[in-house]
Structure 1
Amino acid sequence: MKIKLLFFFIVTLISLSANAQTEVADQPAGLEGLISSRTAQRKNPDAKMDGYHILIIFDENRSKAEAIRNKFIAEFSNKYDADVIWDEPNFKVYVGVFKTKLEAQELLNLVKDNYPTAILVKDKLKFPKI
């Protein structure tokens, strides 16, 4: 009986040691540089990403553009960013910052009733604040 018990423990120990991981996965060449450049990009306040926003109106009159911006903010309770940008010769009101076209399309469908001239715009956008 003692021999069987001893044999059982030896087999168990051998099987446990056989399952131990001995190899370490190496990172592919250049991965560390890619990670550090991505981190630096995210920390740079001027970094931009591909994304979408919605142009709800453009007009020559700044006060009209700002009034429409304020109206949009009131309607959507500050849920989306809204900015008035001077792009000669017009002031443009952009709303939302979206990574995917699908997300932007959802907002476009909501605003089309009140802003029929609203269009989806692909642009280089600043990273959204977290």
Structure 2
Amino acid sequence: MKRAIFDHKAKLSLIKFCSFFVLILLSAAASAQSKGKVVVIRDALFDTLLAKRAMLNRGGGGSATGSRVYTSNYGYRLQIYSGSNRNAAYAAQARFNGEFPEMRTYISYHEPNFKVKAGDFRSRLEAEKMKAQLQFTFSAMFIVSERINPPKTVINND
């Protein structure tokens, strides 16, 4: 009689184990990903913008003169101020803009210093010429190499 009870418990535990194993397999099969197809829905203007950008990058800017359209690239700037005083940085920028209003200036803050940079020069020679002009006005000035913005272009509709 004792053996019959033991066999009954063994069969019951075997059934529990098998049912647990089957449940694990079924849940894994249910959560498996199947291959599918992705459909991208986009506005028709998106393709137009991509084509326009490709045309501008090739240099076909669409102007009558056929001048090349430049994109942002690496070049040189003059750093005219570096310090922790925000008011002095803005004063240096205003002083530079007063003397050269056609040239762009940029203020950046990298803790704890403000840096004022001027110009978008494609070559170091251009930056050196401007540095020679400003040598007496801004004494602590040097040339830095970084990503520059495209120069301002004049568009004539003649």
TM range (shorter): 0.5 to 0.7
Report the Cα offset of residue 108 of structure 1. Answer: 0.5
Aligned to 1:39: 57
Q: Which amino acid aligns with 1:99?
A: R
Using the TM superposition, name which of 53-62 and 82-91 deviates more: 82-91
The reply on whether 1:129 has 2:135 as its aligned counterpart is no
Deviation of the 1:40 alpha carbon: 7.3
Q: Superposition RMSD on alpha carbons, in Å?
A: 2.4
Distance in 1 between the 2:137 and 2:146 partners? 23
More strand by share: 1
Instruction: Identify unmatched segments of 5+ residues in structure 2.
Output: 1-53, 62-70, 154-158
3-state secondary structure, aligned to 1:93? strand
Based on CA coordinates, which of the two structures has the bigger radius of gyration? 2
Shift of 1:129: 3.3
Counterpart of 1:51, as a letter, is: G
Corresponding position of 2:68: none
Instruction: Establish whether residue 55 from structure 1 lines up as the match of residue 79 from structure 2.
Output: yes
Give the unaligned 5+ runs of structure 1: 1-35
1:51-78: CA deviation from partner (whole Å, max 9, x where unpaired):
00100111111111001100111122x0
* TM value normalised by structure 1: 0.61
TM-score normalized with structure 2 length: 0.51
Q: Which runs of structure 1 show a deviation greater than 3 angstroms over 4 or more consecutive aligned residues?
A: none
Alignment coverage as a number of residue pairs: 91
Q: Which has the higher contact order (CA 8 A, sep 6+)?
A: 1
